[in-house]
Structure 1
């Protein structure tokens, strides 16, 4: 595998999101089970450029999402998808305090 070959596909100014959700005590496995199907669904969306779901190795049930879309409009369309709205609807039972979302801008550096 050639190092860094996917970076050229991410445009300057792309809409990046880092989101965090923590399971309620005792709900770690249930939140994981509800969240894992999102990986294939989001990655199959042609508007999604990159999507990673990560879980803290030392604090199970603590999830970090890393997502990149070409634009904010693409991200908002993603959030309106039925599988995303259904996932959000389950969070009050499974997660502490909902989802913390940081909306970021991709900075590719000089000459990019």
Structure 2
């Protein structure tokens, strides 16, 4: 990852071998010092738009209590196709522009998850 003004890749890789079913993930974003308010506004705008996407099951945004410049996004999409459709929206493209201006993040900020199940659960 380069500095806030250098070129960074924001589009996450979406592997073809992800498990079927819902796509949970988290993203951790750090604001450029002095840009906390702008990044918070961009996150809130994104959250409102993503929650209206047909394949979005959940999108929640949090700010660190002890680190107000750190934002945690918790997302669940119906499946890989819904996540790919999410990434193709205009509001995500606009959000990536906001990330470039107000955060130190890149595509590595997103962690795709697999839910743990106890034995006997599917």
- Using the alignment, how far apart are the partners of 1:97 and 1:48 within structure 2? 22
C-alpha distance after superposition, 1:28-69 (max 9, x if no partner)? 011111111122211111100111101101111200111011
TM alignment of 1:71-86, pairs within 5 A? 71-86=79-94
Please state how far the C-alpha of 1:108 moved relative to its aligned partner. 4.7
Q: Which runs of 5+ in 2 are unaligned?
A: 1-19
Deviation at 1:101, TM superposition (A): 0.8
TM-score, normalised relative to structure 2: 0.74
Cα-Cα RMSD = 1.7
Q: Could you state the TM-score of these two structures normalised by the residue count of structure 1?
A: 0.80
Partners of 1:104 and 1:27 in 2: CA distance: 29
Among 10, 18, 22, the residue aligned to 2:30:
22
- Runs of at least 4 residues off by over 4 Å: none
> Residue 102 of structure 1: SS of its match in structure 2?
strand
What SS class does the counterpart of residue 92 from structure 2 fall into? helix
Are the counterparts in 2 of residues 14 and 106 from structure 1 also a CA contact under 8 Å? no
Unaligned runs of 5+ in 1: 1-11
Structure number having the greater strand percentage: 1
- Count of equivalent residues: 101
